Structure 1
């Protein structure tokens, strides 16, 4: 059996304003051998990634985080900045634009789903996320 996959667990940034949803996503990802960092809103996620005002900050601690994140999974409906807005900021960034972004929502709104996919989201998943959803994410994106 190859244990090398466990040595370098893919780092996922999970963004959700609902603490229970955030914990569920974190637990599912960790059970699927991912390293997980959580953020309670899009602004915190941008700060973690070192992306503020669409530019990459030169803060000494921001670059290492950004370069290690292999996937971002974010809720769509959040106060202040939506997951769609976060997606756009990530795709506008020269260093983060190739990182897959997955949008989650408890609402199945086809126009919203299409809008996110057209803007560059890799996938749109309905909440609550299940273990099978996370396995699919790992298979396709990590």
Structure 2
């Protein structure tokens, strides 16, 4: 079931993951939770999208382990940007490494979620977006 993306109250989420299957899963879960979704296959593409278009995104959800630029490095760049620093960033990873989780939260991540994401995880995120 796909929702119309033109509504003003539909949150726009940028989903970043180098794994196509994971990216599609996150996209489907977000769309099922009434979000507009734009996807990027890596951190550089995500930054290009954020820098070029200026369509306001309400949240960025990114994988931690990606080639070229990790999710942590993407988080750093977003938090260093005067334009983007207020956008909530969610980090996801298949590895439950407490030091990594703490580093991301200290850098300013909204939350850290373990993959594979479940519908309940996305519903919690959706509630946060509604605040």
- Please report the TM-score for the alignment, with normalisation by the length of structure 1: 0.85
1:91-130 to structure 2, matched below 5 A, reads 91-130=79-118
1 CA distance for matches of 2:61 and 2:89? Answer: 6
Aligned: 1:83 with 2:71: yes
- Structure 2: unaligned runs, 5 residues or longer: 1-5
- Structure 1: unaligned runs, 5 residues or longer: 1-5, 51-61
SS at match of 1:69: coil
1 CA distance for matches of 2:124 and 2:53? Answer: 28
1:1-142 to structure 2, matched below 5 A, reads 7-8=7-8, 9-50=10-51, 62-65=52-55, 68-142=56-130
1:140, distance to aligned residue in structure 2 (A)? 1.6
1:63, distance to aligned residue in structure 2 (A)? 4.6
The residue that corresponds to 1:59 in the other structure is none
Task: Summarize the Cα distance change of 1:123–1:49 in structure 2 as closer, same or farther, 3 Å threshold.
Answer: same
1:7, distance to aligned residue in structure 2 (A)? 2.0
Structure 1 runs, 4 residues or longer, greater than 4 Å off: none
- From the CA coordinates, give the structure whose radius of gyration is larger: 1
Q: How many pairs are equivalent?
A: 124
What's the C-alpha RMSD, in Å, of the aligned pairs?
A: 1.1
